[in-house]
Amino acid sequence: MSEIIWVAVGVCLAFSFWNGFTDAAYSISTIIATRVLTPIRAVALASAGNFVGLLFGGAVAATIGKGIIDTADPAIISVMPQIVIAALLGGLLFDILTWWLALPVSESHILIGGLVGAGSAAAGTGVVLWNGLVSKVLVPMIVAPLVGFTVAFLLTVGIMHAFRRRSQERVNRGFAKVQLGSSFFAAVMHGSNDGQKFVGILTALLLAAAWIPSRDAPLWVILAAFGTVSLGTLLGGWRIVRTLAVKITNLKPYQGVAAEGGGALILAVTAATGSPVSTTHAFTAAIMGVGATRRLSAVRWGLARRIVLTWIVTMPTSAVFAYGTFLLLALPNGWVLLGGIVGLVIALVALRPMVRRKLLARDEAALAAAGGSPPG
């Protein structure tokens, strides 16, 4: 029994790392887009901020650990390791697909959808705490992007009005220094939300296995969860950085401060209330709110619609993937089949950069043959 628990812990920490790897975009995209910091320095700043986030957000860990499914139900306790594995690996398959397409997807909702799907497969939908799911997840899922958009919009308008008599060059130079603080604050709030989610699920797993006496997370669990998130952030998710910071709208330093401030304020409120809101929702909506202050056409609404559609399908799709993964684990050779699927996915992720380089080379060669600009 102990072996499967350690496997579940390993899967959880791997997902935590992946969360940091892809979510590096959400706290550093604006400071890279405004050219205040180089990507490597911005990623280092975000990694440090994510780790500092372990000091906040304990309410989020409690919601994940006991507020989504009834982790005290005997039917859940008996198969908690399988539920964690199915929830995370099932959701990870969908997560990798969206990463391949460079779409900002919410790992928070992947995790929550995965818990709902795997828990339902294990003990039926009766173990799902629907009231908590609605009040702590679904309502913030709708409200957070709207508030983030509005707060960032108003902050940008306020800054523009307050400094309207100053030269734009001086304003941007001054706000470039301010953005160092706002970006670090955004990274801390990112860690307080996303890192605590994995603290919550690890604590629920260990409590079900009777490895810990209460829901108080051991120090090693907290350090492991935040360490893997920070390590993933250090390695970064550069395609999604480009999608958020460049493709949606172009930003100046004062706009970057407004976007980071708006998104981080929303995350601070949700961390305090125990709502595991999506950092994707908060920061993407804030960036869109900043872009809308220039004119509505400054925001790439076509891409924004694709992102919103991805948000809508994330939770139910992750639940379906997790449900199927739990059933697969119950088969006689289920672990072997799941291992083969995971290996295939890892191979595809490893091959992706090479495939992309070949496609770019082919396109450049075709352009040169047609009389366009030569490659390079």
Q: Percentage of the chain surpassing pLDDT 70?
A: 82
Per DSSP, helices labelled H in the chain are 2-33, 39-52, 58-66, 74-77, 80-100, 107-123, 130-133, 139-162, 168-208, 219-235, 238-242, 253-273, 279-291, 301-329, 334-369
DSSP state of 370: T
Per-residue pLDDT tens over the stretch 51-95: 888 777 688 888 898 889 999 899 999 999 999 999 998 887 777
Which one, of 178, 316, 313, lies nearest residue 259 by Cα? Answer: 178
Domain edges within the chain = 2-330, 335-376
Whether residue 376 is predicted with pLDDT greater than 50 in this model: the reply is: no
Which one, of 222, 226, 229, 228, lies nearest residue 206 by Cα? Answer: 222
Q: State mean pLDDT over 229-258.
A: 68
User: What values do phi and psi take at 277, rounded to 5?
Assistant: -75, 155
More confident residue, 110 or 246: 110
Per-residue pLDDT tens over the stretch 204-218: 999 999 999 988 888
Task: Say what the pTM is.
Answer: 0.81
More confident residue, 359 or 325: 325
Per-residue pLDDT tens over the stretch 34-52: 777 777 777 788 888 888 8
Average pLDDT value over all residues in the chain: 81
Whether residue 303 is predicted with pLDDT greater than 70 in this model: the reply is: no
